[in-house]
Chain A
């Protein structure tokens, strides 16, 4: 298949949330020796962007968002090792550490953001739920992340987002990382109040924000 034939199919597979099609098209691309960065940028990413538009228009909901993100992951599972093997390095917009903050076990929203960030071109380190503040920092230092994303669903655990910023400052690391906060009780005002770098109210907005903070379009 030529690029003009395969790229639209890749995008469609993402929009349809078709994991198998996304994977097998990626395998075809590898076999055909296509430029894999182009495959991602012009084949798959347009699909994710379309999904974001459909969400914004109120035509796509969480189930579609999640399966599209999973389809993207399936494609990347084929393409990432190839890119690494060729020493191209990932197309990554950057490394992100994400988790639900200490004391809080809610993770559906956070999981979705993690998937969408991954689909959107970030290398994501998802620490899960009830993550101690230190662990966010330790992991970010370990992998050289640029961004730390904190989710909280309760007004009580949300306070830990403020504590986290203080902790970063105390360690002299505040300027090293972009800190994004999210979760039902959070808001733009809250992010400003605690000195976070940003707030996003849903996964699609989170990816947009992360990309702009990472200096990507």
Chain B
């Protein structure tokens, strides 16, 4: 059998990849990055970087960067809550997770946005648990009824109670790291068990241009020491906080992310790092950051290619939309992004469910987007030979006008070769009318209810659940926040 080719997209000429990386390294040497974290600056100084203590500006030599790249793993394995199922984050493996972190939900009945609550967070986790093509969860909502000092920890706590999937998450406060790590370690049964079987990725964003803040640099250090993969999320906005050209923004992206990678390796050599991002085109009329712009997706595909050149796992914010409702724009922006991300081989794609410039989540959209992901996974499987010879055997006994419907070959292969339609409308016109002219959004709404009703909490050992409760309650007390609503899940 001839090996099936995996579809692949590479936008950058190899020579341009090299030049962009080279300029990124030059930026780090010539201008450096502002590091607003004394511990990180100290690590960098010890390693020979030129640190200006007064200003916090750190210039990093390319040899240090290359040495750190050499100790960074080229792939990361995530495990589910049971520890039994693993997911390769590396090569061209693609995993989708819901876009994070939204502050509002799109209410299907009113078709408008409202503040997200703990109830929404619970429904969100339950729904995503049932969505086959979203391999990871994310702590994708900020519940407005949870006191802000514990917001980051609480959403992870709720998620770990309700879901078995690995999590993409992150800290809002430096103090949040310890209890969040403790939650993860409690699930695994210990800190070293957590290191050998990572359950979560922690996102950290540099501040464009060329700065790592106190909070985000601390997240890098803390996560590295705990063996938790850090997902570096450079997020330049072209012509506003990064150069206007796509190639120019890629240079800044490389510099910002590599500075973060160096901090991770200095904190703990060999710590897992994911070369990620959420950059965007900047709309010169509205002053907004369209995640659905084609240029945004091109920047993402570009830096993913660069990340692979650097032998790193990759991530991007793609498969999402800036639309405010589930309309055609929501459909095409998300689908374009999902396909481009998959063809570019982005390992972690954060986006499904998301609307309105990364601020809103929609349960209906999550279901629709899961269907988009299904199509994308089929695309990634490529065109397989299947048979040898490919078709000559099928034509044996050919008579003009033969139908393939009854052919054993058809019965043998149809379920493998073609995915189910899902919610996509394939009715003939009259049937569609007779069924009530239902849109895919309305079908998705019905499907949300069906899935939530069918959700069954994956089993969690009682003592683990008790430990999670204890950690959350203790942090709630220690932070003086008290705890939000009842933890009825």
Contact = CB atoms under 8 A, between A and B. Distances in A.
Interface string A150-178: 00001110000000000000000000000
A117 to B, nearest CB: 16
A61 B103 contact: no
B240 A61 contact: no
Interface in A16-65: 58, 61-63
B284 A109 contact: no
B288 interface: yes
Contacts of A109: 287
A63 B287 contact: no
Interface in B212-255: 239-240
Contact of A63 (B103, B115, B239): B239
B285 interface: yes
Contacts of A108: 240, 287
A74 B103 CA distance: 41
A58 B240 contact: no
A63 B244 CA distance: 11
Interface string B279-298: 00000110110000000000
Interface string A69-108: 0000000000000000000000000000000000000001
Contacts of A63: 239, 284
A151 to B, nearest CB: 11
A184 B357 CA distance: 11
Please report whether the interface of chain B is mostly helix, strand, loop or mixed according to DSSP: loop
Interface string B31-54: 000000000000000000000000
Contact of B288 (A61, A154, A184): A184
Interface residues of A, number: 12
Contacts of A155: 103-104, 115
B242 to A, nearest CB: 12
B103 A156 contact: yes
Contacts of B115: 155
Q: How large is the interface on B (under 10, 10 to 19, 20 to 34, 35 or more residues)?
A: under 10
Nearest to A63: B284
A62 B241 CA distance: 13
Interface in B76-104: 103-104
Contact of B287 (A58, A62, A156): A62
B115 to A, nearest CB: 8
A61 B239 CA distance: 12
Nearest to B104: A155
Contacts of B288: 184
Interface string A100-132: 000000001100100000000000000000000
Interface in A163-217: 184, 202
A202 B288 CA distance: 12
Instruction: Tell me which of B104, B287, B288 has the highest count of chain A C-beta atoms within 10 A of its own C-beta.
Output: B287
B213 to A, nearest CB: 10
B285 A62 contact: yes
Nearest to A64: B284
A202 B287 CA distance: 9
Contacts of B284: 61-63
Contacts of A62: 284-285, 287
A61 B287 CA distance: 10
Nearest to A62: B284
B91 to A, nearest CB: 37
Nearest to A183: B287
Nearest to B357: A184
Nearest to A109: B287
Among B239, B240, B284, find the residue whose CB has the most chain A CB atoms closer than 10 A: B284
Contact of B285 (A61, A154, A156, A184): A61
B285 A58 contact: yes
A109 B288 CA distance: 10
A61 to B, nearest CB: 4
A62 B286 CA distance: 8
B104 to A, nearest CB: 8
Interface in A134-158: 154-156
A156 to B, nearest CB: 7
B26 to A, nearest CB: 26
Nearest to A202: B287
Contacts of B104: 155
A17 to B, nearest CB: 14
Given A109-B287, A184-B287, A184-B288, 13 more contacts: A58-B285, A61-B284, A62-B284, A62-B285, A62-B287, A108-B240, A108-B287, A112-B287, A154-B103, A155-B103, A155-B104, A156-B103, A202-B287
Interface of A: 58, 61-63, 108-109, 112, 154-156, 184, 202
8 contacts: A61-B284, A62-B284, A62-B285, A62-B287, A112-B287, A154-B103, A155-B103, A184-B288
Query: What 4 pairs between A and B have smallest CB-CB spacing?
Result: A61-B284, A62-B284, A109-B287, A61-B285
